[in-house]
Amino acid sequence: MRVQSADVVIIGGGIVGSSIAYHLTQAGCRSVLVLERESHQGKGSTGKSMGGVRAQFATTVNIEMSLYSIPFFRTFDDAMGHPSGYRGQGYLFVATQERHLKYLQSNYERQVALGLKTVELLKTEDVIRVAPELRSDDILGGSFCSTDGFVDPHSVMTGFMLRAIDGGARLFRNTEVTGIEIDSQGVRGVKTNNGSIATRNVVNAAGAWAAQVAKLAQVDLPVEPLRRMLVPTEPFDKVSHRSPMVIDMKTGFHFRPEGLGLLLAWNDPEETPGFKTNFDPGFVEKILTRGVDRLPCLEEAEVNPKRAWAGLYEMTPDHHPILGSVPGVAGFFLANGFSGHGVMHSPATGRITADLVLQGKSDLVDTRLLNFERYAEGRLLEETAVL
């Protein structure tokens, strides 16, 4: 390791760390060092993500982060010279109970008030028109946003990092952080398996492993890993490949086109926290039972459990990220706990974190809502639209 010092050290080279590095270099900070413990980037949660992007959230801060991030993905290819894989096929929330409709109505009003122009409330016949393959006898309506869709997380991460490197950032792979050194002024440096680096600014972007990194700075971070499993079908033509992401609000089952088939997802409420990245074959029956109930043609789809996979969400108590500095540890910044929204909000996270590191404030969102202190102060947010 030749570099012995950096203005900012980012721990974690996934999509969030890469976006932060890019935004820092864009703001004129050239001495940025990204440390990735794996031999390749994206081997953590980034490469295992479903890749969904949406603005259909329930809280102001999540909607605002999406309003920055989705246009960023839409122009990513031209601005970055690298594909994002963005496909604006929409998200369709399907309501089967009156309370679902009220919930979607209230979210819709907030989304529109904040400037989202592409969201609409649907009647039963509209839902059937958008997704004719669904069983519809109990559907009361829904909501659809045409600019929601999907991206290729690995490609976005790569694009961010390539442009960050163009801007002067450096990426060290196979480099695990083993210590964070602190003196009377705050952060002084980091120790790694490849030597020490002097720095006054460290950003924790370690994803599901964020709590262990925070412990190195004597910080108790309320982030824990939670397994999420995804099941792709074999090639299947009974659902249009232009279909949106469809979410059955009755069960939480959701699916979207992927390759020549579908990608199926469902968050098992019985899942317990932990670093479990093995796929449980028993999950296939659980998800197909719920899937066939809403999408009867799924009965004809073939599923090979060996192609299914598991990744880790990094959960916080209120399902919102923790962004910003830590009181009492000057120079230690957090970009953690995205609770399944790290990929979709990576552009906003990079911009906000770069602002906070370089200026101590950001005008993109009210950063106080996402700060570390909210837990001690009892200011938890409530996001009910968690997939």
Instruction: Write out pLDDT tens, residues 338-353.
Output: 999 999 999 999 999 9
Whether the per-residue pLDDT at 383 is higher than 80: the answer is no
Domain that holds residue 137: 88-148+225-315
Q: Give the end of a domain, one of 298, 315, 332.
A: 315
Find, among 370, 346, 369, the residue nearest to 18 by Cα: 346
322 is a domain residue: yes
Q: Give the end of a domain, one of 295, 315, 335.
A: 315
Domains in the chain, number: 2
The string of DSSP codes covering 158-197 is HHHHHHHHHTT-EEE-S--EEEEEEETTEEEEEEETTEEE
Residue range 354-380: mean pLDDT, rounded: 96
User: Which CATH number covers residue 24?
Assistant: 3.50.50.60
| 134 and 196 both lie in a single domain | no
Whether the per-residue pLDDT at 384 is higher than 70: the answer is no
Whether the per-residue pLDDT at 124 is higher than 90: the answer is yes
Whether the per-residue pLDDT at 67 is higher than 80: the answer is yes
| 217 and 262 both lie in a single domain | no
Res 386: pLDDT? 62
62 is a domain residue: no
**Based on the number of CB atoms within 10 Å of its own CB, is 383 exposed (0-12), middle (13-18) or buried (19 or more)?**
middle
Whether the per-residue pLDDT at 5 is higher than 60: the answer is yes
104 is a domain residue: yes
| 215 and 335 both lie in a single domain | yes
Whether the per-residue pLDDT at 100 is higher than 80: the answer is yes
In DSSP terms, which residues pair with 335 in a beta bridge?
323
More confident residue, 220 or 387: 220
Instruction: Write out pLDDT tens, residues 16-36.
Output: 999 999 999 999 999 999 999
Res 162: pLDDT? 98
Residue range 95-113: mean pLDDT, rounded: 97
| 273 and 134 both lie in a single domain | yes
Res 385: pLDDT? 65
Res 243: pLDDT? 97
Q: How far is 274 from 343, CA to CA, in rounded Å?
A: 21
229 is a domain residue: yes
| 310 and 330 both lie in a single domain | no
| 334 and 309 both lie in a single domain | no
56 is a domain residue: no
Whether 264 contacts 253, CB under 8 Å: yes
Q: Would the pTM count as exceeding 0.75?
A: yes
| 366 and 339 both lie in a single domain | yes
379 is a domain residue: no
User: Which CATH number covers residue 271?
Assistant: 3.30.9.10
What sections of the chain are H helices per DSSP?
15-26, 60-74, 76-80, 98-113, 124-130, 153-166, 210-215, 282-294, 346-359
Q: Give the end of a domain, one of 269, 299, 315.
A: 315
Instruction: Write out pLDDT tens, residues 40-65.
Output: 887 788 778 899 999 999 999 999 99
**Based on the number of CB atoms within 10 Å of its own CB, is 29 exposed (0-12), middle (13-18) or buried (19 or more)?**
buried
| 144 and 158 both lie in a single domain | no
Work out the mean pLDDT of the chain and round it to a whole number.
95
| 194 and 304 both lie in a single domain | no
| 133 and 211 both lie in a single domain | no
Instruction: Write out pLDDT tens, residues 156-209.
Output: 999 999 999 999 999 999 999 999 999 999 999 999 999 999 999 999 999 999
Whether the per-residue pLDDT at 321 is higher than 90: the answer is yes
142 is a domain residue: yes
Q: How far is 56 from 24, CA to CA, in rounded Å?
A: 28
Res 382: pLDDT? 76
| 231 and 340 both lie in a single domain | no
Cα 211 to Cα 15, 152, 216, 334, 379, distances in angstroms: 18, 27, 9, 10, 20
Category of 100 on φ-ψ map: left (φ > 0), alpha (ψ -120 to 50) or beta: alpha
Res 3: pLDDT? 59
Res 381: pLDDT? 86
63 is a domain residue: no
Category of 329 on φ-ψ map: left (φ > 0), alpha (ψ -120 to 50) or beta: beta
| 135 and 254 both lie in a single domain | yes
